[in-house]
Structure 1
C-alpha cells in the first residue's frame, strides 16, 4: 500500500526488533505545515512513532486538509475527501511500520483538531486524541456513522478568548463526547487561538498518562 501524503516521521532512537510501538498522527492548522507541529511533540518520539502529516491542498504560504464555505462549515466533498485520505494514511502507516494497533493517537490544532475529532468518532480504532481549539462539523454529528470504539479517551482544550473559533464550540465538543460516554479531559486557558505553555504541558502529561491506561 502506498500513500500520496507528505509527512515527517520521528521514531524512538533505539528501535527494538519485533517490538510494536504506539503511534501519534499529527495534523496542522490551515495555512500551516507538518514542520510547524513538530515543536509540540518534540521528545514524545521516545514513546511514539510520530507522523506529522502535511495537508494535500495548497493554502496561502502553507497547506490545508479541507476548505470552508462559511463560518464553521467545511465544504462537504472536500472535507470527506480529506478524511478519507487521512484514514488511508493511517492504514498505510499501520501496514508499513511496527505499530501497536491498540495504541493509535491523534493530535491536531484548529483544522487538525477538527479532523482528529472526526476520525476518532468514525474509525472505531483510536485510543486517544488531543484536540486543540477545534469543532465538530454539524454534518459529522448528523450524517457520519459514529463509531468511536470502546477504548477512546479525549483531551480537548480551547482558549477562552479564541478570536477564530468561539470558546463555546470547545465546550460543545466536550459535551458531545461526554454524552457518548467517552472520557473527556477539558481544559481552558485565558488565551486566544493558540497553544499556551500551560496547554502544552497539560496535553503532554495527559497523553503520556493515557498511554499507560489498560497496561
Structure 2
C-alpha cells in the first residue's frame, strides 16, 4: 500500500477505461495546488492529485526534504526522494487497478519537486507512465538508476521559467540534450516567468496532452 492521500476528478464522460492523469505538487505545497488545473483539462481524464507524504506543517508537504547547512549549502535528501518515487510507483498501480484506467494512457504531471520525481520515476520504472509533463523541474542525475533501460517509450513535455529564481533555468536546459541522447521523444520550452506556470505554458501543455489522447 502506498497510503498517499489524494483528490479525484472523475471523467466527465463515462468510459470503461478512462485515460489517467496523476498530478504531483511541488515542495511546500499540497494536493489542492495543481488540482486547480483539473477543470480546464480534457473531460475524458480521470485526474488524481496526490499529496506528498512528508509534512512540513500548516498544510505544506514535501516529497523529500531539502536541507540547508553552512558546509554543503542546499542539498536534497536523496534517500527520502527514492522512497517517494517507490511510493508513487505503487500508488500509480493502485489507482490504475481501482479505477480500471486505460493501461496505455497514463500521464504524469509534476511541478518543481514533483517534476523532478516524475522524470526519475520514468527511468526507475520504465513505461509505468507513457507521458510525462515536467513543469519547472530538471533531471537530477543523482536520482537515476545505474543503467537506463533502452526499452523506454515514454515521451516528455518539459517547460521552465526563464527567470526562475528557485530552480535555475540552466539546470532545466540540460534536459533536452539528456533526453535526445537517449533517443526519447521530448519538447522543451521556456516562458518569461519565475517559478510558476504562465497561461501560455498551460495552453501549450494542454494541447500536447490532447494530441496524445
Normalising by structure 2, what TM-score?
A: 0.90
1:25-40, aligned counterparts within 5 Å?
25-40=22-37
Which residues of structure 1 form unaligned runs of 5+? none
Cα deviations by residue, 1:186-205 (Å, 9 ceiling, x for unpaired): 11011111101111111111
Query: 1:108 deviation in Å?
Result: 0.7
What CA distance in whole angstroms lies between the structure 1 residues aligned with 2:152 and 2:138?
22
| Alignment equivalent of 1:119, drawn from 118, 121, 127 | 121
1:13 pairs with 2:16? no
Q: Is the 8 A contact 1:21 1:49 kept in 2?
A: yes
Q: CA deviation at 1:152?
A: 1.1
Pick the aligned partner of 2:138 from 135, 140, 154: 135
Q: What is the rounded CA distance, in whole Å, between the counterparts of 2:123 and 2:53 in structure 1?
A: 22
1:192 aligns with 2:194: yes
Say whether the 8 Å CA contact 2:25–2:34 is kept in structure 1: yes
- Please give the TM-score of this superposition, normalised by the length of structure 1: 0.89
Q: 1:169-210: CA deviations, max 9, x gaps?
A: 111112211111111111101111110111111111111112
SS state at 1:66 partner: coil
Q: 2:63 aligns with which of 58, 61, 65?
A: 65
Give the stretch that moved more between structures: 64-73 or 121-130.
64-73
1:20: Cα distance to partner?
A: 1.1
CA shift for structure 1 position 104: 0.8
Q: CA RMSD for the aligned pairs? A: 1.8
Question: Is 1:122–1:144's contact at 8 Å kept on the other side of the alignment?
Answer: no
Cα distance, 1:149 vs structure 2: 4.0
Pair 160,146 (structure 1): closer, same or farther in 2 beyond 3 Å: same
